[in-house]
């Protein structure tokens, strides 16, 4: 049981959607009825069920029902290609696939969220919702990676590891029953899923808002009194731009006590604007699908990603050839670690090393606060070893978000293309001067591209593949400063 559940606050927690509000007692009754419908379809403890659906109140109910049933849950993005869905269902040996729409799925046992919810009203529940069977599963959750950094694979997580990590996180962040959580995230990914379960475990109300329509989501925040908003940095920046264009919308966020973010490095200039516009810091956090949550900044310590959670160890492995002193790859040891990968051919590859290499770069300050700088994607340039995501964090002090893409170059080793997000469309030469003022000469851009907004992937993070394609295609994308190949000669 979580600390938050033990707080004696008389609150009727609810699940809010754009067209309904349901008490948690009603949600529990519906989830138990769905669990009965699942059992009637032959699903029992340990069976694998694929859940591929968009955010909705029904999604939350079906998720809770699957956990109560003790099913091994295979999560898929609702935008995933049908061919990939069929492959994952086959590789994981799912006995049932739950979807929003059956037209894109064929050949296996399929049911819609709406069909499972049909007939879930009724009298008091005869049993209580329990996660104990799911907690005991070694494969309670299987999330399928996007394949953006290699071959797609299933990340297998024990139910116990997931729930234990959420208890640590709730205690650190202080979620409580009188909170109304607003996750502007897809529930089919680690961050969004963790917030759905956080709301249930902490008995906080949950607001299911249309996160792709931020104007509608902000209005719902005002209607239902959202107190905690979670989103990626890119989505928070879009919300910030919305409030700056339409200051009257800030009133809808007046009850928010925490703005939380994660999933990508936080841009310093955006964080400063956030405090100015909304009066609260943007609280950064760090975690991964494999490891769960690792560190959080909090209202009383809004520094970096804050210290790591109790029971979790993080150490740095430095690269002596890199230019960034005190920076290294983050290696994590946690009791909440995943159990292994499920490869594309269905083979389980267990975790063997207690220290997990994250592939992320970071550093600590002298108070033990963790700062995550980005992926460890080194490029070699005129004898220097540079990390583009470290460079872009320094460059973002120019006053706008910056992304850096390294391209191969026979003479220099790498060329650096800088993308600047500027809705005002100021000239690339203007941004080049401001960027160079923040960097050493060996970090200067070869080319600067100004765009209205970075392309985003499904997770709400800047899409590195699309940015790389834009860097390769040349001056037709955005506005450019002339290419500079002289600074390193």
pLDDT in tens, 242-296: 998 999 999 999 999 999 998 877 777 778 888 988 999 999 999 999 999 999 9
Per-residue pLDDT at 480: 52
Q: What is the pLDDT of residue 146?
A: 55
The whole-number pLDDT of residue 385 equals 76
pLDDT of residue 378: 78
For residues 211 and 235, is the Cβ–Cβ distance under 8 A?
yes
Highest-confidence segment of 120-129, 197-206, 370-379, 453-462: 197-206
Q: Which residue has the tokens 């800088």?
A: 418
Q: How many CB atoms lie within 10 A of CB 82?
A: 12
pLDDT band at 213 (very low <50, low <70, confident <90, very high): very high
CA distances from 235 to 184, 241, 264 (A): 8, 10, 11
pLDDT tens digits along 347-394: 899 999 999 999 898 999 999 999 998 888 878 786 677 888 888 888
Q: Which two tokens stand for residue 207?
A: 């607001």
Please state, in angstroms and rounded to a whole number, the distance separating the CA atoms of residues 459 and 28: 29
Domains of the chain, start order: 4-302+335-352 (3.40.50.12780), 379-480 (3.30.300.30)
Q: What is the pLDDT of residue 145?
A: 67
Which element (helix H / strand E) includes 26?
A: helix 24-40
The tens digit of pLDDT for each residue in 120-139 reads 765 566 689 999 999 999 99
Is the model's pLDDT at 477 over the cut of 50? no
d(CA 169, CA 408): 41
476 burial via Cβ count (<10 Å: 0-12, 13-18, 19+): exposed
pTM of the predicted model as reported, rounded to 2 decimal places:
0.82
Which stretches does DSSP call E strand in 309-423?
A: 313-318, 328-333, 340-342, 348-350, 356-364, 370-375, 379-381, 384-386, 402-409, 413-421
Mean pLDDT of the chain: 88
pLDDT of residue 124: 60
Q: Identify which of 53-67, 137-151, 397-411, 441-455 has the greatest average pLDDT.
A: 53-67
Residue 107: what pLDDT? 57
Calculated CA dihedral for residues 395, 396, 399, 405, nearest 10 degrees: 80
In this predicted structure, what is the pLDDT of residue 383? 67
pLDDT band of 24, cuts 50, 70, 90: very high
Cβ atoms of 481 and 418 closer than 8 Å: no
Question: 213 CB contacts (<8 Å, ≥6 apart)?
Answer: none
Q: What are phi and psi of 181, to 5 degrees?
A: -85, 135
């Amino acid at each position: 049981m979580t600390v938050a559940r033990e707080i004696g606050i008389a609150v009727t927690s609810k699940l809010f959607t754009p067209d309904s509000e349901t008490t948690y007692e009603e949600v529990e009754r519906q989830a138990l009825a769905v669990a009965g419908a699942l059992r009637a379809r032959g699903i029992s403890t340990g069976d694998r069920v694929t859940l591929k659906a968009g955010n909705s109140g029904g999604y939350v109910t079906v998720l809770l029902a699957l956990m109560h049933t003790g099913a091994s849950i295979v999560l898929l993005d609702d935008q995933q290609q049908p061919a990939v869905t069929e492959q994952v269902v086959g590789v994981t040996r799912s006995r049932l696939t739950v979807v929003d729409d059956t037209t894109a799925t064929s050949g296996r046992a399929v049911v819609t969220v709406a069909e499972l919810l049909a007939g879930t009203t009724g009298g008091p529940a005869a049993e209580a919702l329990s996660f104990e069977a799911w907690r005991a599963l070694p494969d309670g959750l299987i999330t399928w990676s996007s394949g953006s950094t290699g071959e797609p694979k299933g990340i297998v997580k024990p139910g116990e590891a997931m729930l234990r990590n959420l208890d640590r996180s709730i205690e650190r962040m202080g979620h409580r029953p009188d909170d109304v959580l607003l996750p502007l995230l897809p529930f089919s990914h680690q961050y969004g899923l963790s917030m759905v379960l956080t709301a249930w475990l902490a008995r906080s109300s949950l607001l299911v808002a249309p996160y792709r329509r931020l104007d509608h989501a902000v209005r719902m925040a005002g209607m239902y009194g959202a107190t905690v908003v979670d989103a990626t940095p890119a989505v928070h920046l879009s919300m910030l731009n919305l409030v700056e264009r339409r200051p009257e919308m800030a009133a809808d966020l007046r009850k928010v006590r925490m703005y939380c973010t994660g999933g990508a490095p936080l841009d310093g200039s955006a964080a400063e604007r956030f405090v100015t516009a909304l009066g609260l810091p943007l609280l950064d956090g760090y975690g991964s699908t494999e490891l769960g949550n690792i560190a959080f900044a909090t209202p009383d310590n809004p520094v970096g990603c804050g210290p790591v959670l109790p029971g979790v160890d993080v150490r740095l492995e430095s690269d002596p050839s890199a230019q960034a002193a005190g920076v290294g790859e983050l290696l994590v040891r946690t009791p909440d670690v995943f159990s292994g990968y499920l490869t594309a051919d269905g083979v389980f590859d267990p975790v063997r090393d207690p220290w997990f290499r994250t592939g992320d770069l970071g550093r600590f300050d002298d108070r033990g606060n963790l700062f995550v700088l980005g992926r460890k994607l080194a490029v070699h340039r005129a004898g220097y070893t540079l990390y583009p995501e470290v460079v872009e964090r320094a460059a973002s002090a120019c006053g706008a978000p910056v992304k850096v893409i390294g391209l191969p170059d026979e003479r220099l080793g790498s060329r650096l293309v800088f993308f600047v997000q500027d809705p005002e469309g100021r000239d690339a030469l203007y941004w080049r001067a401001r960027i160079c003022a923040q960097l050493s000469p060996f970090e200067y851009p070869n080319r600067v591209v100004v765009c209205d907004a970075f392309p985003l992937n499904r997770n709400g993070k800047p899409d590195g593949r699309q940015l790389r394609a834009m860097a390769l295609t040349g001056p037709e994308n955005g506005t450019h400063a002339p290419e500079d190949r002289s600074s390193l000669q």
